[in-house]
Structure 1
Amino acid sequence: MRRLLRLLLALSFASAAAGVEPKPNLVIFLADDLGWGDIGANGSDRVATPHIDRIAAEGIRFSHFYAPAAVCSPTRAGLLTGRNPFRLGIYTYVPNRSPMHLPRGEPTIASVLRASGYDTCFVGKWGVNGGLTDPTQAQPGDLGFDHWLATQNNAEGSHLNPGGFVRNGRPVGRIEGYSAQILVDEALQWLRARKDPARPFCFFVWFHEPHRVIATPERFAAPYRARFPGRAEARDESGATEGKLPTIADYLGNISHLDHQVGRVLTALDELRAAERTLVVFTSDNGPIAPGSSGGLKGGKTRLSEGGIRLPGVMRWPRRITPGQVSDVPVGSIDLLATACAMAELATPPTDGASLLPLFAGEPLVRATPLFWRNAAGEAALRDGDWKLVARAAKGGAAHEARDVAGAEPERIARMRAALVALHADTQRTAPRWPESALPRAKNRSAENN
């Protein structure tokens, strides 16, 4: 036994002498309905987001960062799995008690990392099944998370004292406080209470903010009240008024409060001396609704025009990303699974994404599958380099892009159209089929519900 102990100690010292580094950590922040123009790093002069901006300044900002979809549930499924959500049967937002769910056993970022020795945690809006206590559907724990605190959809009531929380399969109901603060409290408590702090960690913070119904601590809304005294109105595509929104000050303060909670996590990483070896990602699930800002991009939530799917995307990893980089290469959250696997030096499951590690090093990105999208409104889109094709099943004009140049490049358009048709057919080969009742009724398909 003593010889064995001496051998183990010798191996341990040899590893330390060889400079074997622990595997890097991963933190993924996901905002809800935050537009491309809703952070300072993308040029907004109306809202203060110093901590999100810090991630960009100390890392890389992607000017063309895309969601896998234009609404919440498909984006969440695509981010988790690195696969187009239509492959997974997540066609639109998943309402409460829906049979639609992410398949059990589908590889996710969390499951792949957990299998290689990572501690994993999820807090926030889950959105990829119809019920967090339904034993027939995969839950966060089944998809790779050791610890989780989640709501099935939005914060019940509002962001203040929200309800509907389930922790590790047990309903806990309403929790006092503001949603973003509740989630970060839970994540940091988990992070600091881990039994073996030397193990690598991966945790997701998927905020409910700034999805309405808005509730904002006054200290974050107050700085905006003098400059933005008004209240915007939401309008549908015909221009008809749908209803009044929160005050603009409350909305902007909501984003600043979210940003403050991001800052708490960054501070904790500094205190734990983990920041240098942690990849931090911040993005959103889809484009904004009023009074959110797409930063001048056409369209918004639910649409495949740029304002619906092009979002904030900033990352920091001090040991691998040179500070202050800006990339205009089209990438997205569909790429995070491949990136996480490359980061941890693991084999990558089948994916529609690509590892972003080459971009971190200033090298070209190799993408086997083009970025492509579908939505429940019958639109489909494909991005190929500087070109984007948007096809619409319904009659109508151009799909809200900057310029319609299809007539000038017929061969390119024909090639992109063929690729889009082939990709769509491929996604449907093995996609689950749900009863029609699983899809949200038309009257409930508004941006308010997802």
Structure 2
Amino acid sequence: TAGALGGLGLLAWLAVVMSALPGPVAARLHDAARAMPSATLALWGCAAALLLVRLPRARAGAATLAILGVLPILVGSTWFADRFVRDPLRVSNRSLTSEAREAVTGSQIHLDKIATGLRVSPSGSRFALQAWAGREEDDDTDDQAPARAPMLVGDFSGGSRPIEGDDLGFLDEGRALILVSTSKTAELKILDVTEPSSSPWRVVLPPVANPRLSVDASAGTWTVAGVDRQWSHAIGLSGRVGEDAIATRRWPLPRSHGAVQPPGSVAYAPGSDAAVVSTISVPGASTRGMLGLTGPWLAFLPLPPTQWELWRLSPEGPRRLAASRGPLSCLATPIDQSTVLCWSVQRGTTLLWRVTPSSGAVEPAGSLSFWGRNLQIGPDGRLALLSPEGAVLLVDLSSRALTRVRLAGGTPRAFTVVPAGGRIISLSRRPQGSTVTAYELGQLTAAAPR
């Protein structure tokens, strides 16, 4: 019994030590010690078993193991984290000032297709969606996503038309940039959304997997961020609308012990030579997110924790900025020319963070006392997200204001909302399609609870 417990303790200690490499050592030691109580329990169990052996050497060994078992508790404690772990996510993040408003239905349009990926024009008069070719039950139950249909561009007068493309960003109420990507190349072009016509400007881009287009209409700039086809490097492309010059940047993606799952959206601010990406470190997973040959057996062994990690990508290589045991992600669209927004969920609280890719600085931007979901950024830079109950919340980072909005009317529950001017555009699902609703934001009704 003592030998088995001792072997388990050694395995747990080995997992704790290995999870701390390549660094930052203190932060990863703290995470692993908190996630693996077996590093303490196995040693204490072994010590208890040795106490039953009536030999002086056994009792001396039991005392040594009991003392060693305290070390993981110390390393996993708040005391250790406050003194040795330099994780910016541990910084205090103040709650946003809260108020309440009511929004009434202004316009609404019903579509006969299941859609996602809501994009809106600066005033909210036009929208673009990514429709799906599969049936609704395919979208909800199949492991593989159904075949993707052309994008839909429309307005609230009832008209919409299909557009071939992977992503779209509005320049104004009549024009948009559309990204068309294939396995060998990509193309960015201006589209007249009011009527079919030839594009007055287009530019050919290098091939990008998992691409995301961001448009700054006021500055006349665009960015495309994604990864290469081998998922080994992140790619950032940027330029000005109407010009052929393209700035191209490549950064190696991070790798960790236990493998790093394919990253989420690459957050790239065009005024920076670096980018930010979040990953999920999963023991026993390959770099493409598939279980390795030993994956099924790893559940029986002491393992480092599964956690979300925030990385700065630069030509010098990836550098870990922070880690979280709860979901951690970043908006692909930058909030300005040099800053991106990330958010994490810890103990039922949603925390917002400003991240500067050029320096790697992570600064608190505010906290919400609930688990927010489906965070979106509008054309005016305001944020929108949904509470667990489906309430709409608007965040203005410049004034640190949180507005709780009650959507009046009998529309289905929204699963995506985007602010635009004095409007809130929502996308909801119906049994046979989708509904896009434009709500007019009303006056302040009452102070909302924080």
| TM-score scaled by length of structure 1 | 0.28
Largest Rg, 1 or 2? 2
Of Structure 1 and Structure 2, the greater strand share is in 2
Q: Which structure is richer in relative contact order (CA contacts within 8 A, separation 6 or more)?
A: 1
Instruction: Give me the TM-score of the superposition, normalised by structure 2.
Output: 0.28
